Amino acid sequence: MTRHLHPIRSIALLFCFLAPLACAGPNVSKPFPTPFEVIAHRGASAYAPENTIVAFEMARELGAVDVELDIQLSRDDVVVLYHDATLREKTGRSGKVRDHDANDLLDMDIGSWFDRTHPEIETKHAGTRLCTLAAVFEAFGDTLYYHVELKSGDEALAPLALEQVRAYRLEANVRFTSFMFEQLVRAREVAPDIPAGLLVGDAMTLRREAGAGPDVTTLSLQKKAIDHAKKAGFDQVGFASEDLSPALVRYAVESGLEIRAWRIKSDADMHRAIDMGAFGMTTNWPDRLVRELLLRKRTRPERQRKAR
């Protein structure tokens, strides 16, 4: 079945191709005529505190329509944006997200951590707080496409996240993703109409978890992950940029799945992922990727994919 893009993911006008930053605004289109997914990783997280309203605002200003965000549950079952397993490094608070009520979490400052770790950024963000999924949906509505990563193993996480998606009528603007296969299965059970993308661990992780010996190739383990994703009804797989290969991309495409790159740490990683044939990538620097795609004048026919 031919992939039909949501209006905000449609081909941009020529003006937007020539002047991408002029496209910011409601129902913004991608600023280049290609289905490539420029996914701002936790928002424009190289320029603003990750998983915050300001990071998503920055991503949109820099020409990104797709944003990736991480969700976990508070003790009182509120869907909160946060990446790490523990709060200590980025907020200075003890415990995990699940150990605190939402009101406590939303008073935690992640901006001071950003200022310490990004001294090159002139704008200071001390005082920027954690936020909820509902707050993000309220702020941006259907002007963004959300790659919502289920970051914890809570069985209630996917159903509660779906409640927010339904409440804001954003079913056409969301994809659930996770490194946790069972979490994505749960997401498919409660929301079969919403696409799901399996994020696959890097080569070292795959080999360690499989107990693979020297006679087992990494590609064979990657193909097995793709087979599981296809069987489960997922529509996308994601691999670390350094693990991409033409054979891997070809196998994913032949299996009817889109393939996305993660772990983009440099422009070299970005170039490699594009050259390998990825359909998109998460990046902390969405502006660099937008410029690169414009320079390449990248075009590609709409991809074929299996019907959901």
Q: Which residues pair with 61 in a beta bridge?
A: none
Q: What is the dihedral of CA 36, 298, 65, 172, to 10 degrees?
A: -40
Which of 239-275 are b and which e, b meaning 16 or more Cβ less than 10 Å from the residue's Cβ? Answer: bbbbbbeeebbebbbebbbbbbbbbbeeeebbebbbe
Q: pLDDT per residue over 126-145, tens digit each?
A: 999 999 999 999 999 999 99
Is 123 part of any domain?
Answer: no
Per-residue model confidence (pLDDT) at position 296? 85
Q: Which residues pair with 67 in a beta bridge?
A: 40, 146
Is 275 part of any domain?
Answer: yes
Output the CA–CA distances (angstroms, integers) from residue 105 to 82, 125, 214, 226, in the order listed. Answer: 10, 17, 46, 36
pLDDT at 204 over 90: yes
Is 135 part of any domain?
Answer: no
Per-residue model confidence (pLDDT) at position 298? 60
Nearest Cα neighbor of 52 from 97, 111, 96, 102 is: 111
Is 120 part of any domain?
Answer: no
123: number of Cβ within 10 Å: 10
Whole-model pTM: value is: 0.87
Query: Which range (9-13, 130-134, 197-201, 218-222) has the least confidence?
Result: 9-13
Structural domain total, the chain: 1
Structure tokens at 282: 């998460």
pLDDT at 149 over 60: yes
Is 164 part of any domain?
Answer: yes
Residue tagged 């490539």 (tokens): 36
Output the CA–CA distances (angstroms, integers) from residue 255 to 112, 174, 219, 234, 283, in the order listed. Answer: 44, 22, 15, 11, 25
Is 26 part of any domain?
Answer: yes
pLDDT at 33 over 50: no
Per-residue model confidence (pLDDT) at position 12? 34
Bridging pattern class, strands 79-81 and 196-199: unpaired
Q: pLDDT per residue over 250-305, tens digit each?
A: 999 999 999 999 999 999 999 999 999 999 999 999 999 999 998 887 644 333 32
Per-residue model confidence (pLDDT) at position 297? 75
Q: pLDDT per residue over 77-87, tens digit each?
A: 999 999 999 99
Is 204 part of any domain?
Answer: yes
pLDDT at 8 over 60: no
Per-residue model confidence (pLDDT) at position 34? 52
Per-residue model confidence (pLDDT) at position 15? 29
Instruction: Print the domain residue range for 25.
Output: 7-70+145-296
pLDDT at 124 over 60: yes
pLDDT at 28 over 70: no
Contact between residue 259 and residue 238 where contact means Cβ atoms under 8 Å apart: yes
Is 102 part of any domain?
Answer: no
Mean pLDDT of the chain: 88
11: number of Cβ within 10 Å: 16
Top pLDDT among 175 and 10 is at 175
Burial of 201 (0-12, 13-18, 19+ CB in 10 A): middle
Share of the chain above pLDDT 70, in %: 85
SS3 of 138-156: the string is: HHHHHHCEEEEEECCCCCC
Per-residue model confidence (pLDDT) at position 2? 32
CATH number at residue 22: 3.20.20.190
